[in-house]
């Protein structure tokens, strides 16, 4: 069943983002293999975008950490998607941090949902001003994938890199307030070298 789900997930990613031009897999103790696919998007403007999407997180539903037994069938499923401007930083090194985040529901029993902060404890790539990401609402870039009942749909959750200052501010004021700050200042959230947004 998991293999069937992942085949459908990969097909949805390809239909939304084009064919991947690279992929890497990481296996963690106590977790299934997580792959990260890379897609190059040259359609939007003069600066190409590179998108990274996990594949493997949705093989099993995310379980409520307070539940005594994890339901092997029902529960939220998701994959993670990160978009950055290509050629400005060595962002391909984000593959392992992304795989770590995607494995966390299996390894740590957490449920990843919009509004959450995920911290990898180190720069997302060499020289990155970010060690954490904000999980945004799904459905924009890659449409949610419906699976046959009783399986829950697979949501594709965009990740927005946060500077440590932004992450600390978000903990106090909330995800919505931080996103409003970004919007008000016209922050380019895809710039892999951007600085922190001005925060009062």
Q: What are the structural domain ranges in the chain?
A: 2-184
Q: Would you say 88 and 191 are in contact if contact means Cβ atoms under 8 Å apart?
A: yes
Q: Which two tokens stand for residue 24?
A: 């890497």
SS3 3: helix
Residue 193: per-residue pLDDT: 95
Beta partners for 77? 154
> Which of the four pLDDT bands, split at 50, 70 and 90, describes residue 101?
very high
Distance CA 73, CA 14 (A): 25
Average pLDDT over residues 37-59: 87
Residue 200: per-residue pLDDT: 74
Share of the chain above pLDDT 90, in %: 78
Residue 169: per-residue pLDDT: 96
* Choice between 1 and 180, residue whose per-residue pLDDT is larger: 180
Average pLDDT over residues 98-118: 93
Residue 142: per-residue pLDDT: 96
Among 136, 134, 40, 140, CA closest to 92: 40
Residue 71: per-residue pLDDT: 66
Strand ranges (E), the chain = 22-26, 34-41, 49-55, 77-85, 117-119, 132-135, 154-162
Distance CA 158, CA 149 (A): 25
pTM, two decimals, is 0.93
For 146-189, write each residue's pLDDT tens digit: 999 899 999 999 999 999 999 999 999 999 999 999 999 999 99
Residue 1: per-residue pLDDT: 66
| Statement: residue 138 has pLDDT above 90 | yes
Distance CA 173, CA 162 (A): 14
Share of the chain above pLDDT 70, in %: 93
| Statement: residue 144 has pLDDT above 60 | yes
For 81-94, write each residue's pLDDT tens digit: 999 999 889 999 99
Residue 63: per-residue pLDDT: 80
| Statement: residue 2 has pLDDT above 60 | yes
């Amino acid at each position: 069943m998991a293999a069937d789900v992942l085949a459908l997930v990969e097909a949805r990613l390809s239909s939304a983002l084009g064919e991947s031009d690279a992929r890497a897999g990481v296996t963690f103790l106590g977790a299934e293999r997580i792959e990260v696919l890379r897609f190059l998007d040259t359609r939007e403007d003069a600066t190409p975008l590179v998108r990274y999407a996990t594949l493997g997180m949705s093989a099993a539903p995310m379980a409520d950490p307070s539940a005594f037994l994890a339901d092997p069938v029902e529960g939220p499923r998701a994959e993670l998607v990160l978009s950055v401007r290509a050629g400005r930083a060595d962002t391909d090194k984000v593959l392992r941090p992304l795989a770590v985040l995607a494995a966390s529901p299996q390894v740590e029993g957490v449920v990843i949902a919009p509004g959450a902060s995920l911290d990898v404890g180190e720069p997302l790539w060499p020289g990155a001003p970010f060690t954490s990401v904000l999980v945004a609402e799904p459905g924009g870039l890659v449409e949610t994938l419906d699976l046959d009942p009783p399986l829950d749909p697979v949501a594709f959750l965009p990740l927005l890199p946060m500077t440590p200052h932004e992450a600390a501010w978000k903990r106090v004021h909330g995800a919505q307030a931080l996103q409003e700050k970004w919007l008000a200042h016209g922050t380019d959230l895809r710039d892999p070298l951007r600085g922190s947004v001005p925060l009062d």
